[in-house]
């Protein structure tokens, strides 16, 4: 039996996640008090046939069962079956907009922003322990579904370590789920080369241009060796996911090239994925500006 704990900020999409997981074959339960977790597991085992995959939302919503990280961690540590945590995050601005649109009261405070800040601090230890993290700030419902299906997939419960390498543009903000962030704005920008502007870091001319800087290659070598040492240490401490993010101005050239280079170096070391957050939208922006 495998258990997936779905948690995170109120308004970040936990109920939507349960709907997707239900379609994936999970038995889903919303807002289960952590004190009932052990009893619920035994109930699932007593069915015929036994239930194999369960997704449970355990969060900080106000109720007669007061939430505490210590109580949740104690309940999880007492389980004798595989379990993982999916943490849903979202920017404060988007959460505020969602609360304003629905006119819901935040469960932690009458003032939505105050509630968001209180809850974010309260859930930080859970976020640190999470196996998977998804930032739903800019996702459509369909994108959210695809990301959950890709993230959880059919391997949930195997406790594998996942390295996520991503690129982004600083002008659209830093990815909330990043563990390590590296700024690529120290190297020459291909955007100012007419022959390279409309290409991306995935194209060989841009990739070669970025990698021609000896400092970039030194950076890449150092980071590769560092990750080879850090990942086993993270695994030993129970961490199952590491997100390494590279940023440049727009998220189309330098950060993409560096993310691709690191991905090629690390892909043979296990479960490694690559994402380019702003690549598509930056391509549209450049096309509009220069009429291509």
What six digits make up the tokens of 103? 């006119």
Cβ burial of 283 (10 Å; 0-12, 13-18, 19+) is middle
Q: Mind listing the pLDDT tens digit for each residue in 174-186?
A: 988 799 999 999 9
Same domain, 113 and 208: no
Q: How far apart are CA 166 and CA 179, in angstroms?
A: 11
For residue 242, being part of any structural domain is answered with: yes
Same domain, 87 and 191: no
What CA–CA distances, in Å, run from 41 to 27, 251, 281? 12, 45, 44
For residue 37, being part of any structural domain is answered with: yes
For residue 251, being part of any structural domain is answered with: yes
Same domain, 51 and 123: yes
For residue 212, being part of any structural domain is answered with: yes
The DSSP 8-state label assigned to residue 199 in this structure reads S
Same domain, 134 and 166: no
Same domain, 10 and 146: yes
Q: What is the pLDDT of residue 63?
A: 45
Q: How far apart are CA 35 and CA 44, in angstroms?
A: 16
For residue 157, being part of any structural domain is answered with: no
- Where among 101, 118, 152 does a domain terminate? 152
Burial 125-142 (b: 16+ CB within 10 A, else e): ebbebbbbbbbbbebeee
Same domain, 74 and 202: no
- Where among 121, 152, 183 does a domain terminate? 152
Question: What percent helix, strand, coil does the chain show, rounded to 5?
Answer: 45, 20, 35
Same domain, 250 and 176: yes
Same domain, 141 and 209: no
Same domain, 23 and 106: yes
Among 171, 159, 186, 140, smallest CA distance to 79 is for: 159
Instruction: State the residue for tokens 């355990």.
Output: 58
Q: What is the pLDDT of residue 286?
A: 57
Range of the domain at 94: 2-152
Instruction: State the residue for tokens 């998804």.
Output: 134
Long-range pairs for 72-80: beta carbons < 8 A, 24 or more residues apart: 72/34, 72/126, 73/125, 73/129, 75/34, 75/35, 75/37, 75/38, 76/5, 76/37, 78/38, 79/3, 79/37, 79/38, 79/41
For residue 77, being part of any structural domain is answered with: yes
Count how many domains the chain has. 2
Same domain, 146 and 8: yes
Q: How much is the pTM? A: 0.61
Q: What is the pLDDT of residue 228?
A: 93
Q: What is the pLDDT of residue 33?
A: 81
For residue 61, being part of any structural domain is answered with: yes
- Where among 129, 152, 175 does a domain terminate? 152
Same domain, 201 and 95: no
For residue 111, being part of any structural domain is answered with: yes
Q: How far apart are CA 191 and CA 249, in angstroms?
A: 10
Same domain, 258 and 189: yes
Q: How far apart are CA 257 and CA 251, in angstroms?
A: 10
- Residues 168, 259: contact at Cβ < 8 Å? no
Show the low-confidence residues of the chain (pLDDT under 50): 62-65, 157
């Amino acid at each position: 039996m495998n258990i997936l704990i779905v948690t995170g900020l109120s308004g970040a999409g936990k109920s939507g996640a349960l709907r997707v997981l239900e379609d994936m074959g999970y038995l889903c339960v919303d807002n289960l008090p952590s004190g009932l977790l052990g009893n619920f597991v035994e109930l699932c085992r007593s069915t015929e046939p036994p239930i194999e995959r369960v997704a449970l939302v355990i969060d900080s919503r106000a109720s007669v069962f007061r939430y505490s990280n210590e109580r949740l961690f104690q309940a999880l540590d007492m389980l004798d079956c595989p379990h993982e945590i999916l943490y849903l995050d979202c920017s404060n601005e988007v959460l505020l907009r969602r609360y304003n649109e629905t006119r819901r009261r935040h469960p932690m405070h009458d003032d939505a922003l105050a509630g968001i800040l209180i809850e974010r601090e309260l859930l930080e230890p859970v976020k640190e322990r999470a196996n998977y993290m998804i930032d739903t700030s800019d996702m459509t419902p369909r994108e959210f579904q695809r990301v959950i299906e890709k993230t959880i997939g059919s391997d949930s419960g195997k406790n594998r370590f996942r390295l996520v390498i991503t690129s982004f543009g600083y002008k659209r903000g830093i990815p909330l789920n990043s563990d390590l962030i590296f700024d690529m704005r120290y190297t020459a920008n291909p955007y100012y080369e007419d022959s390279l502007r409309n290409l991306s870091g995935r194209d060989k001319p841009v990739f070669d241009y970025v990698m021609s800087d000896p400092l970039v290659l030194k950076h890449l070598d150092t980071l590769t060796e560092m990750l080879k040492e850090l990942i086993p240490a993270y695994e030993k401490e129970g961490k199952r996911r590491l997100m390494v993010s590279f940023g440049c101005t727009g998220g189309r050239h330098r950060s993409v090239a560096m993310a691709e280079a690191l991905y090629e170096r690390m892909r043979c070391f296990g479960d490694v994925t690559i994402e380019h957050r702003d690549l598509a939208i930056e391509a549209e922006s450049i096309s509009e500006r220069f009429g291509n």
